[in-house]
Homo-oligomer: A and B are copies of this chain.
Amino acid sequence: MPALAVLLEVLNWTGAATFAASGALVASRKQMDPVGFVLIAATTAFGGGTVRDLLLGRPVAWLGTPGLVLLAALVALLVFFTAHRVERRFALLLWADAVGMALFAVLGAEAALAEGASPWAAILLGMMTATFGGALRDVICGELPLILRKEIYATAAAAGAALFVALTQAGLERGAAILAGMGLAFAIRAAALRWGWSLPAYKPRPGRDYPNHP
């Protein structure tokens, strides 16, 4: 069904571009050079899909798609040359990341279903596709991953993937299920950002440093 294929392509390229932008914005926070911008952008854009494809045992998608890698590189360079004009780079980072997360949560689940995974595995793989690239970005740059911060993040990805899978299992047309799942994931994340929603954190007391930590 060509219309669905076109939709998937458009969403995939959009997700890669927005995740690349979020990666480049983290690179700007770390004052990297253009190559660092490109590397972090590519890690963010393709890290989650790589893990999904490895777990599914299928060829890694971006290796065969030069245009997609080029797009991530161009977005990274665009951010390198224009980010100083943005007043609130951190807010932009969070919103670009939210769009990428919502798209990849559902695209990851869709790819898993298409590969014959169970609904359960599809939801997990969708959440991993949505979150792993950003987690890699943050770990490499020495930040605590967004996914582990007190805002609602992985929850939104899981909810979007789950809605998509449920609607697909219920027989809904796939394109509609994709858009509904993405809408839910983005809505939850956007509400969390907008109104500061978060889950209660564990409080009692923080850990001391590991004894003898070098």
Contact of A145 among B34, B118, B140 (CB under 8 A): B140
Q: Which B residues are CB-close (under 8 A) to A212?
A: 149-150
The CA-CA distance from A64 to B112 in the complex, in Å, is: 13
Q: Is the CB of B30 within 8 A of A83?
A: no
Looking at the complex, which one of B35, B66, B120, B147 makes contact with A120 (CB distance below 8 Å)?
A: B66
Q: Are B66 and A214 interface neighbours, CB within 8 A?
A: no
B33–A150 CB distance below 8 A = yes
Given contacts A32-B202, A139-B139, A150-B212, 16 further A-B contacts (CB under 8 A): A29-B207, A30-B214, A31-B203, A33-B150, A33-B201, A36-B147, A39-B148, A40-B148, A54-B55, A55-B60, A55-B63, A63-B117, A135-B140, A140-B145, A143-B213, A149-B210
User: Which chain B positions have C-beta within 8 A of A55?
Assistant: 50, 54, 60, 63
**What residues of chain B lie closer than 8 Å to A142, measured between beta carbons?**
142, 144
- In-complex Cβ contact of A214 among B32, B59, B124 (8 A): B32
Q: Does A204 contact B (CB under 8 A)?
A: yes
Once the chains bind, are B154 and A148 in contact (CB under 8 Å)?
no
Cα A70 to Cα B55 with chains together (Å): 19
Q: Name the residue of chain B whose CB is nearest to the CB of A29.
A: B207
**Cβ < 8 Å to B, chain A residues 71-106:** 80, 83-84, 89-90
